[in-house]
Amino acid sequence: MQNEDESPTPNGQLMLQALTLPADTNPSGDIYGGWLMTKMDLAGSVSAQAIAGGRVTTVAAGSMVFLRPVPVGACVGFYVDVEEVGRSSIRTLVEAWILDPRGGEAQKITEGEFVFVAIDGNGRTRPIQK
């Protein structure tokens, strides 16, 4: 994971934005880490599906470190950088950032590597057409 001071702006393309809601909180009132991971997986899959030209499935997710709690009402942006496209796999780096709707500075929450594999209609691995 990059030090947030080394990367003060998001890397990759904005793939998803979501507003955090009270139903997504833990007993302390902060957003669950699992909520973030779900949205990161969705954002990565949008990019992977476009590259694969169809259906993909998640086969791996790398370690994540959460840099700050996420409050209710935050707008979270999920940015995807495609790192590698193999014969049937797509490796992405997904970053989550709290976005200030008033144009203030964005705050990085976490990043993680997500790997997807192209699959056919029967759920079997298929090559990516390049």
The model's pLDDT over 78-117, given as tens digits with 9 standing for 90+, comes to 999 999 999 999 999 999 999 877 777 899 999 999 999 9
Q: Band the pLDDT of 1: cuts 50, 70, 90.
A: low
- Pull the structure tokens for residue 108: 């990085």
The answer, yes or no, to whether residue 6 has pLDDT greater than 60, is: no
Beta bridge partners of 16: 78
Query: What is the per-residue pLDDT across 12-40, written as a single tens digit (0 to 9) for each?
Result: 999 999 999 999 999 999 999 999 999 99
- Please report, for the chain, the start and end positions of each structural domain, with discontinuous segments joined by +: 13-118
Tell which CATH architecture fits domain 13-118: Roll (3.10)
The answer, yes or no, to whether residue 7 has pLDDT greater than 70, is: no
> 59 burial class (0-12, 13-18, 19+ CB within 10 angstroms)?
middle
For the whole model, what pTM was predicted? 0.90
Determine the average pLDDT of the residues in 44-67.
Answer: 96
Task: Write the Ramachandran bin of 109: left for phi over 0, alpha for psi from -120 to 50, otherwise beta.
Answer: alpha
> 116 burial class (0-12, 13-18, 19+ CB within 10 angstroms)?
buried
Percent of the chain with pLDDT over 70: 94
State the residue for tokens 């991971």: 37
